Amino acid sequence: MNKKKDKPDFIEEPHSGIASQIKGKPLNLTAKESDGNRTVSLGLVKEEPKKFLKDLDLIQTKREKNITSMSLPNKEFFWHPVVKEKFDLKRLQKTIFAVNDQKPEDFEKMLSLKGVGPKTIRALSLVAEIIYGAKPSYEDPARYTFCVGGKDNVPMPIDKGVYDRVIEIMGKGIKKSDISLREKAEAQRRLSNLT
């Protein structure tokens, strides 16, 4: 639910159930971790459309000159799902300026505007991450969806015993892992959020 609690939030964590046959690294802008990326993307359209288009052109120009073959040692940015995508800058410019004229108040309103489709959103996300450091999530929301059942009993009811056992095994794995104490504490915290 959104902050007003009067209508469902279709932007952040809207899932009640997910099914997927495709495996990969999707750009997941519905994840809470993508909030900063959504905020920067909206700001680019509302306040700086010319700068956004210049930044995207820069990324594409550098990419064409083999930037993607460079070694990027920063573990925080090692890959982006749209870095190799071709964007029609003239079409994108038309869309971005049309959206700018409308001044959408939030990301959801921006998504509902004519012309704003997947390529527009991927282009905004790319610039938001590479130029402004606003990381989106690449976690596949369907990855572990049905391993212990689904909350809507689809494809099967949740097996609480298996669920508890999986969490117990994961906890033991964290304790035995060869990672720093800080990383162990963070992993345990994330695991405890599941229970």
* Per-residue pLDDT at 163: 81
Dihedrals phi, psi of 14, to nearest 5 degrees: -85, -5
CA 153 to CA 75: how far, in whole Å?
38
The DSSP annotation for 30-88 comes to TSGGGHHHHHHHHHHHHH-HHHHHHHHHHHHHHHHTTGGGS----TT-S--TTTT----
Per-residue pLDDT of the chain (195 residues; tens, 9 = 90+): 444 456 666 566 554 544 444 455 678 898 899 999 999 999 999 988 899 999 988 887 766 555 444 444 444 444 555 556 678 889 999 999 999 999 999 999 999 999 999 999 999 998 999 889 999 988 876 655 567 777 677 667 888 888 888 888 888 989 988 889 999 999 998 888 876
Q: Which helix (H) or strand (E) holds 27?
A: none
Parse the chain into domains and list their residue ranges.
1-145, 147-195
Q: How many CB atoms lie within 10 A of CB 126?
A: 24
Look up the pTM and report it.
0.58
Instruction: Give, in order, the Cα–Cα distances in Å from 28 to each of 6, 15, 174, 180.
Output: 24, 12, 26, 28
